[in-house]
Structure 1
Amino acid sequence: MNSASVVVPAREEGHLERTLDSLADQVFDGSLEVVVVANGPATLAAAREHSITDRVLVDERENGPGTARNRGAAATTGELLLFTDADTVVPPTWVRRHWRHYATPSVVGVGGPFRPLTDAIRHRALFRVLSDWWYRVSWPVGFVQQPGCNCSVRRSAFEAIDGFDESLSFLEDTDLSLRLREEGLVVYDHTCPVETSARRQREEGYLPLFLAYCVGYLEYVIPGLSPTRAHFR
């Protein structure tokens, strides 16, 4: 039987329930398990009370999303691992759309775009440029970047590269994607978007975030440096 596992690191209060609601609505011809790695009493309670949740882990280390995702993945059993965030809503066909790519044996990872939960034209336009068109340009030249809120990995490949690099608090999803290329094909599916919060963009601004990413990319490729941005934890 087809088996898939979804890992959700949850730190923000007040958003997890709608994420779990969207996972409960999945149309998938196979077994689906959901593991939440939560921090704080509100998120722990929301995770434990929701019927879709199979297991809840307490995020005691607070070392960033990579650590939480690794812990969650280690507690799952599915042959396909999917990752999203607690401020994200996935469409009913999300798992199925990711799964279909793995019918090709060489595929080891899939990523998709993300859009803002708000209907504000400014956010929708900038998200389309930075969270879709950018991937369409960078992916073909080998700079693959599965976003943490919308990605999946074949379990065997995930284990082969030892999962997320827990020393990175920033660009850990890009790092995972680039290392996955050593195991096989990483696919970008522009027809499989998710909707996520624009809170960080509103609070910090698009230009500062863009510059933070530019600096992070440079730190990632320059030997001896490592991208670290605490506000992405």
Structure 2
Amino acid sequence: MTGMIHTRRPTISLIIPAYNEEEYLPECLDAIMRNVAGKAVEIIVVDNNSTDDTKKVIDRYPAVTYVFEAQKGITRARQRGFLAATGDILAYVDADTRPPPGWIEQIWEQFHKCGDLACLSGPYSFYDLSGIRNAISTGWFVAARPLYWITGYLMVGGNFAIRRDALEEMGGFDSSIEFYGEDVDIGKRAKAQGKVLFSPRFVMPTSGRRMKKQGFAKIASLYFANYFSVVFRGRPATRSYEDIR
């Protein structure tokens, strides 16, 4: 795979897990149609057993491949997308993100520049938080950078791209992880396959709906607790989570 990246431009599959996302998915797919369609080899939405009109939304986009995963859980939806995808690189975003212009081009650029790159990720920006709340929320990624320098990995689950062969060597996603810590687990295991790059330029606009509902302090404490738990214990500290819909 490494040699393949340097002899031809790798194909990219874009995968979007979705559970009850009829409200946010249309703007996500509109952004993808503007900025990604025609560049990705395929766009896959994994319906994670939604009970709303998520499938009807997907049906409005002929360029999107619909895949169904009956067992609820973000890691199971990611794995189902992995099994359905054909690209050399698998790019994952969440259903409340809005991939910006130049986003997919950065994937090609970074994997071309670094032959041993296994996984690429980058920070969120929050399109529905006020200036101060957005600054505080995005400040988490600045605060986390020393952890990245120490461990060699930092991941954002709604904004990453990973080599197919690296994911195969990892055995795919860990479906025993329900929610918190799944991104740290991906980064930790990907590091065994090559470099994990967290690029400040690789920004993904997303919703701050979880922070609005649960509060920044609670979310920050949950993420840090699970980060350290996965790093040092190999498993998340928290199993339960709240759906924000």
Equivalent position of 1:4 in the other structure: 12
Q: TM-score, normalised by structure 2?
A: 0.86
Opposite residue 80 of structure 1, the aligned amino acid is: I
Distance in 2 (alpha carbons) for counterparts of 1:123 and 1:224: 30
Distance in 1 (alpha carbons) for counterparts of 2:153 and 2:191: 8
Q: Quick check: 1:139 aligned with 2:115?
A: no
Distance in 1 (alpha carbons) for counterparts of 2:209 and 2:184: 21
In 1, are the aligned partners of 2:154 and 2:184 still within 8 Å (CA)?
yes
Post-superposition CA distance 1:151-174 (Å, at most 9, x none)? 000110011101211100121111
Post-superposition CA distance 1:90-121 (Å, at most 9, x none)? 10211111221111220010001101112511
What does 1:218-229 align with in structure 2 at a 5 Å threshold?
Answer: 218-220=228-230, 221-222=232-233, 226-229=237-240
Opposite residue 166 of structure 2, the aligned amino acid is: A
Opposite residue 74 of structure 2, the aligned amino acid is: P
Q: Which runs of 5+ in 1 are unaligned?
A: none
Structure-2 change in CA distance of 1:118 and 1:136 (3 Å): same
In 1, are the aligned partners of 2:156 and 2:183 still within 8 Å (CA)?
yes
Q: Quick check: 1:80 aligned with 2:89?
A: yes
Distance in 1 (alpha carbons) for counterparts of 2:40 and 2:118: 20
Post-superposition CA distance 1:30-56 (Å, at most 9, x none)? 543111011234111111211331x21
In 1, are the aligned partners of 2:17 and 2:95 still within 8 Å (CA)?
yes
Kindly state the Cα deviation for residue 214 of structure 1 after the two structures are TM-superposed. Answer: 3.1
- Indicate the percent of aligned positions where both proteins have the same amino acid: 25
Structure-2 change in CA distance of 1:35 and 1:202 (3 Å): same
Q: Quick check: 1:49 aligned with 2:60?
A: yes
Q: Which runs of 5+ in 2 are unaligned?
A: 1-8
Q: TM-score, normalised by structure 1?
A: 0.90
In 1, are the aligned partners of 2:225 and 2:237 still within 8 Å (CA)?
no
Structure-2 change in CA distance of 1:165 and 1:61 (3 Å): same
Distance in 2 (alpha carbons) for counterparts of 1:211 and 1:185: 27
What does 1:1-233 align with in structure 2 at a 5 Å threshold?
Answer: 2-11=10-19, 12-26=21-35, 30-38=39-47, 39-53=50-64, 55-62=65-72, 64-103=73-112, 104-118=114-128, 120-130=130-140, 132-169=141-178, 170-220=180-230, 221-222=232-233, 226-231=237-242
In 1, are the aligned partners of 2:126 and 2:134 still within 8 Å (CA)?
yes
Opposite residue 40 of structure 1, the aligned amino acid is: T
Post-superposition CA distance 1:16-74 (Å, at most 9, x none)? 01111111122688543111011234111111211331x21123111x11110110111
Opposite residue 50 of structure 1, the aligned amino acid is: Y
Kindly state the Cα deviation for residue 13 of structure 1 after the two structures are TM-superposed. Answer: 2.6
Kindly state the Cα deviation for residue 232 of structure 1 after the two structures are TM-superposed. Answer: 6.1
Kindly state the Cα deviation for residue 137 of structure 1 after the two structures are TM-superposed. Answer: 2.5
Q: Give the secondary structure class of the aligned counterpart of 2:41.
A: strand
Opposite residue 54 of structure 2, the aligned amino acid is: T
In 1, are the aligned partners of 2:90 and 2:161 still within 8 Å (CA)?
yes
Opposite residue 35 of structure 1, the aligned amino acid is: I
Equivalent position of 2:4 in the other structure: none
Kindly state the Cα deviation for residue 217 of structure 1 after the two structures are TM-superposed. Answer: 3.1
The structure 1 segments of at least 4 consecutive aligned residues displaced by more than 4 Å after TM superposition are 27-31, 223-226
